Structure 1
């Protein structure tokens, strides 16, 4: 969450290019397309949230021909002073077409978002972004160590 606070304030972030990419996860690419060429089962991204309407709080999590479905309500995260800092939500990718049902449940996402009132408006340089950790579930016969 502190990484997201730093990004929102437009502060230099340690190892940003090494561990995290800026990618619009809620666009046209399916999860496996985003992972093409990667030697890892887990990757981190900074992505803009896609609001259904700019005035609403509701967020659209459609991507390509599928959607990221929430797996519960999510959890509140508090800073060391006990103030609400943000939220952590778990999501699972489901593919919209029946011909690719094997992708359902294979991709998991953890989305980290800031509470709107956590930072003062003057501190915010990059508004409406979240950090997402996407993980491809390993299959029993996978022997890759990454």
Structure 2
């Protein structure tokens, strides 16, 4: 069967309704390990891109989605192991400790995940941005057990961290300030519809937090309806 490639001009393009959302273990074992040892990949879905040759917003793919790339690590110094992560407009800086990637069965450490944050400018005076990179690398101890030559590949997942904007704050305020109606479906029908207690409907206003706790802890089965103030 001919292998189908979902990468066109360096961009990932899946059929409608499909989403590429692998686990850390799948990224390391099914993609990175196969790439390192030049084995056939499950599908040609991750392009080869030098992530440090371009700024994160200039890399191929949809900026609103997670993007995955195979990349090679370039040494910062000729006789050192530190990677050069400088781009045109800034640099990637490691954040926190590396995380071990273990198998779901056997708890074998198969890789490591490093989290990096993109900074504009030059170190150490760069300004932090919302661009995040997860850099996956294969566990060297397990990889060295094989006689197959190991290339210096890493797998990068790059995405833009989303923050709560003013719009979300406004929506939250609307919910907090709205009236909450509790309707007791088990209440008996009453002839006096002018009384909220008789109809099984309770209105809660902004200052009725205590009443809300008592209502929700009763033996009735409340159905919550939020209405605009």
- Give TM class, smaller chain: 0.7 to 0.9
Whether contact under 8 Å (2:57, 2:63) holds in the other structure is no
Tell me how far 1:10 sits from its aligned partner.
0.9
Per-residue Cα deviation, 1:47-92 (whole angstroms, up to 9, x for no partner): 0011123542222211222111111121122344454322101111
Higher Rg of the two aligned structures: 2
- What root-mean-square deviation, in Å, do the aligned CA atoms of Structure 1 and Structure 2 show? 2.5
Tell me how far 1:12 sits from its aligned partner.
1.3
Q: Does 1:16 align with 2:44?
A: yes
Give the structure with the higher percent strand. 1
The separation in 2 between residues aligned to 1:141 and 1:42, in whole angstroms, is 24
Q: Does 1:108 align with 2:126?
A: no
Q: Does 1:122 align with 2:150?
A: no
The separation in 1 between residues aligned to 2:62 and 2:110, in whole angstroms, is 32
The separation in 2 between residues aligned to 1:6 and 1:90, in whole angstroms, is 22
Provide the TM-score with structure 2 as the length reference. 0.51
Q: Does 1:53 align with 2:77?
A: yes
Q: Which structure carries more relative contact order (alpha carbon 8 Å, separation 6+)?
A: 1
Whether contact under 8 Å (1:41, 1:137) holds in the other structure is no
Q: Secondary structure of the residue that 2:80 maps to in structure 1?
A: coil
Aligned to 1:89: 114
Gapped regions of structure 2 (runs ≥ 5): 1-27, 168-229
Gapped regions of structure 1 (runs ≥ 5): none
Divergent runs of 4+, >3 A: 78-84, 138-142
**Alpha carbons of structure 1 residues 123 and 54: separation in structure 2 relative to 1, 3 Å:** farther
Q: Secondary structure of the residue that 1:10 maps to in structure 2?
A: coil
Per-residue Cα deviation, 1:85-109 (whole angstroms, up to 9, x for no partner): 2210111100116xx95xx322111
